[in-house]
Amino acid sequence: MTAAIEVRDLVVERGKRRVLNSISTTVPRGSVTGLLGPSGSGKTTLMRAIVGVQIVRSGSVLVLGQPAGAAALRRKVGYLTQAPSVYDDLTVRENARYFAALYGYGATAADAAIRDVGLADAAGQLVASLSGGQRSRASLACALLGEPELLILDEPTVGQDPVLRAELWDRFHALAAAGTTLLVSSHVMDEAGRCDRLILIREGAIIADDSPADVRAAAGTTDLEEAFLRLIQEREEAVATPGDRAGSTAVANERQTP
């Protein structure tokens, strides 16, 4: 079976700035893959390219075997944007039912999505009156509608309390177990350990693309945040002394450096 996402030599530029620098990666089906990196590292841009709404300079992105953005993917890809994308002047239920109707689903699917994100008690509340975390979950409920094959979730746990974050991650894994592929971005490293695979991105380049265990092993530490820092350091040293790269790129994606 083909990978859910195949990115090859992707270059994205905004103005004169290169945001993604010839990156390549694959995301296996039925997994939770974390896209981690600091703010401004290119996570959202990569997600937009996968959803098919980002103009790319070169390279290719295949999603479920189709070019990103293909019409055939519309019902197969769910996208949660970083900023909540719901109507403040409607209730949570009205929002979910609107998007359900738009995508061709009924009220039952909308109500189920609301329950899945833990907002059943607030279903009748106006979105404008919700907390930031609740708004984000209302937006997530709309992205979950229709049980898409691929879910692109841009920082879905920002602003959520620890209990709810744990519940959401359990939900993500349940979806993956049922066959859904999830690409979840975060800039919080303690969420990395919850993923099946990790793509660590910094300054538009992938510095690690492996399972959490292998990332830890490659960096020689059990702490993922420390591993991320070591990988960055190794990469910077490798760039400073190009002849000494071989030993420091066990997990780094070799195709990143032009």
Interface contacts to other proteins, rule CB under 8 A: 48, 51-53, 55, 71, 74-75, 77-79, 81, 83-90, 94, 97-99, 101-104, 139, 142-143, 145-146, 148
Calpha distance 65→220 (Å, rounded): 36
Q: What are phi and psi of 36, to 5 degrees?
A: -120, 150
Calpha distance 14→237 (Å, rounded): 27
The distance of closest approach from Cβ of residue 138 to other proteins in the complex, given in angstroms and rounded to an integer, is: 11
Which one, 44 or 253, has the nearer CB to other proteins? Answer: 44
Instruction: List Cα–Cα distances, 255 to 8, 23, 142, 192, 229, in angstroms.
Output: 9, 6, 36, 23, 20
Which one, 55 or 163, has the nearer CB to other proteins? Answer: 55
Which one, 94 or 214, has the nearer CB to other proteins? Answer: 94
The distance of closest approach from Cβ of residue 64 to other proteins in the complex, given in angstroms and rounded to an integer, is: 14
Which one, 9 or 94, has the nearer CB to other proteins? Answer: 94
Structural contact between residues 152 and 51, judged by C-beta atoms closer than 8 angstroms: yes
The distance of closest approach from Cβ of residue 110 to other proteins in the complex, given in angstroms and rounded to an integer, is: 11
Q: Would you give the DSSP letter of residue 126?
A: B
Structural contact between residues 60 and 8, judged by C-beta atoms closer than 8 angstroms: yes
The distance of closest approach from Cβ of residue 208 to other proteins in the complex, given in angstroms and rounded to an integer, is: 28
Q: For the chain, first and last CA: distance in Å?
A: 30
The distance of closest approach from Cβ of residue 254 to other proteins in the complex, given in angstroms and rounded to an integer, is: 31
Per DSSP, the chain holds a count of helices (H) and strands (E) of: 7, 10
Which one, 83 or 239, has the nearer CB to other proteins? Answer: 83
The distance of closest approach from Cβ of residue 148 to other proteins in the complex, given in angstroms and rounded to an integer, is: 7
Structural contact between residues 253 and 25, judged by C-beta atoms closer than 8 angstroms: yes
Which one, 78 or 212, has the nearer CB to other proteins? Answer: 78
